[in-house]
Amino acid sequence: MGKWELTMEPVQEWGEEHEDGVVFGITLRREPVQQSAEPTEAFVQYRTCKVRRIKAATLEKLVSHLLDPCCQEQHYSRILLSTYHTFTSSNTLIEMLFQSDNLASVLDSNNYHKSSLWTLLQTWLEDYSEDFRDPPMHSSLRLMCLQLRGHSSLFTLAKRYEALLKKFQTEDNLASQSVNKMEERDGDQEGKNFELDFTDFSITGVAEQLTRMDAELFMKVVPFQCLGCVWSQRDKKENLSPTIWATITQFNTITNRVITSLLCPSSDLVQPHCPTSTTTQRARVIEKWIRVAQGCRELKNFSSLRAILSALQSNPIYRLKKTWAAVSREAMSVFENLYETFPDENCVLTSTDIFVDSSPGGTVPYLGTYLTVLTMLDTALPNTVEGGLIHFEKRRREYEILRQICQLQSSCSQYVLPHHPHIAVWLHNQKLLSDQESYELSRQLETPHATTPSSNSGWSQRTLTKKLSSLLSGNEGSRKNADQISVSSSGSSSSEMEEISASLSLSLITPSLSSSGQNTAVAFPFSSSPDDSTVSSSSSSSQQNLSMSPSSSSTSADPHLVSTHRRSVSMITLPFYNRQVDDSCIIRVSMEICSNGNMYKSILLTSQDKTAHVIQRALQKHNLEDVSGQDFSLIQVLAQGRELHIPEKANVFYAMSTSANYDFVLRRCLKGQRKQLIRSVSLSSGRATK
């Protein structure tokens, strides 16, 4: 085998092929030709095979490709079943499958059980059955049973789907009974909570119980609910991602449990004041939690590990500098090592870290890392491409992340951990402190000292542009694929990008549900520096709604404390949408006249974007693709009612005012009125300053 043969690339991207309603990516694959048993010459023959994969298509073409026996992509059906919720519903997909033109010929053949439809329905049932769970009626599952009953050749599958419906109905009844039993159990345990104390538990026992609970919850996570445009939809009244929010609640509970055990070691929070603990006692509790975190790391439970680290870095705990000074050097060394070696989103992108290692035993990941990556994918790539085609290449990349989650869920079945009932009761059945209560108790324990402001840093010196480049590496990655930034493909609130920016600071802030009248805890906390002069929202993740304001300030910790307890989480005052970094930034654009309220859509702006291009992208994000951008002007909203009109042919990145918030509005020009897009300030005197 010669050197030339060794260096040949087995796969080569060749371009695209366009057909009616579909765009194929073409790959040339080099494969060895099967040799005879006794080759006469010492060389290897190869042949080049042309492989097509769908990059974008209409919904009809995507569904018909599912039933195409000539489909060359091995995991095509799994990619579609994992991500179809982003562009259609279960009912629509079922109806389209059974309305296919070639359905009759497929089912009438003798090999119908080997057909693409049979394989698809079987895969859907076995690996994606949670798609049909929609209590109390489970309408999509009933529709599937009805369609299958209409074809005698699918009778076997119909029986299996009907068995799934009965299973769901039984589980619904058991769940209702379980809620009543839990309420009774909580009432019985209420008087027993006061006998439990964290210092009485073994470190191994706490780590094992945390891992046991986290693994059970993680195995119930429905992968498609992790998709950025699904789990982050705070403008929907119904809970579209119950398994994600269950994990979030668990994370918040553990974080708050750690904080409460440090500030108020007694479980009797009914008293007017918590019993006062000494500095040494609190230091010993911190050391024990660090050892518990180390135990979670050894069990590869990254969820509770992150919860403990976040709690110890929260404002009420971090500001206790006397307490931290009493923590042993050994414990501090372990604490810093645990944080510095914690896997981040790069590990998910490369699939090479401990999240997906092959060592024996289960792994519970920090789900926030995956939610971050999937949110970034959703915001970086558009849902549709030219011609309104569904961007299936985006779904293919999302599937790779979801596949990792499925692999980790399978690994959790390898856990064999004992149950510690007293620890479980202590973790869940005690009253927790609110954010404000935690901060006030912290100030009572250690009197605040003056702090000096410090400059803000980005999220560990990594920029959004670099992170998006990592996501898009190895592909076309053209700027048109990365120019749309929003939390979801549907509507989003004006606080949208504050949350995205915070999530990219190594932690993930869950979207507020205040628009639907709910109070929700912060899911994966964002740590900021404590401010001893005012009570601020901590990252303790208690049952309070966290609102981040672009103008919120933070101050640095005391220099002496920094020397003994180095802060690892970057501190951010203004989110990324208010900063220009590496020739890019994020702006928010709303419509001046919008039927669904003053809704912002966030867009990634680069130093190459002209006004017309930004206007057109903003219209697309507001679902106004058919409206001409020439009918609108782009205006930056300044303070005190002032405005900055961006000229029609200007470079928006350089024309905008960086001293104001990066908020813009699209204003429709009156008929017959020529746009006067000159850089001026209206409604008030003075010019905008850079």
pLDDT tens readout for residues 257-312? 999 999 987 654 444 456 678 999 999 999 999 999 999 999 999 999 999 999 99
3-state per-residue secondary structure call for 447-511: CCCCCCCCCCCCCCCCCHHHHHHHHHCCCCCCHHHCCECCCCCCCCCCCHHHHHHHHCCCCCCCC
- Cβ-contact 683, 690 below 8 angstroms: no
Rounded alpha-carbon distances, angstroms, from residue 681 to 587, 610, 614, 644, 654: 19, 20, 20, 5, 16
Q: Using CA atoms, how far apart are residues 528 and 505, in angstroms rounded to an integer?
A: 10
Angle of helix 59-66 versus helix 90-97 axis, rounded to 10: 60
Lowest mean pLDDT among 333-342, 568-577, 651-660: 568-577
Q: Using CA atoms, how far apart are residues 1 and 18, in angstroms rounded to an integer?
A: 38
How does the average pLDDT of the chain come out, rounded? 74
- Cβ-contact 522, 546 below 8 angstroms: yes
In this model, does residue 361 exceed pLDDT 60? yes
Cis peptide before 136 (omega within 30 of 0): yes
Name the more confident of 38 and 137.
Answer: 137
Q: What is the pTM of this model?
A: 0.65
Q: Using CA atoms, how far apart are residues 167 and 639, in angstroms rounded to an integer?
A: 59
Per-residue pLDDT, 258:
94
Q: Using CA atoms, how far apart are residues 306 and 308, in angstroms rounded to an integer?
A: 5
Which residues share a beta bridge with 46? 32
Strand order in the sheet with 11-19: 11-19, 22-32, 46-57, 389-391, 384-385
Angle of helix 242-263 versus helix 421-428 axis, rounded to 10: 90
- Give mean pLDDT, residues 228-238: 67
Q: pLDDT by residue (tens digit) across 627-637?
A: 888 889 999 98
- Residue 9 burial (C-beta neighbours within 10 Å; 0-12, 13-18, 19+): exposed
- Sequence-ordered strand ranges (E) for 342-441: 384-385, 389-391
Look at the alpha carbons of 231, 524, 307, 351 in this order and tell me if their dihedral is positive or negative.
positive
In this model, does residue 373 exceed pLDDT 70? yes
Q: Using CA atoms, how far apart are residues 286 and 335, in angstroms rounded to an integer?
A: 10
Rounded alpha-carbon distances, angstroms, from residue 617 to 403, 485, 582, 590, 674: 31, 10, 21, 12, 22
Q: pLDDT by residue (tens digit) across 91-105?
A: 999 999 998 777 777
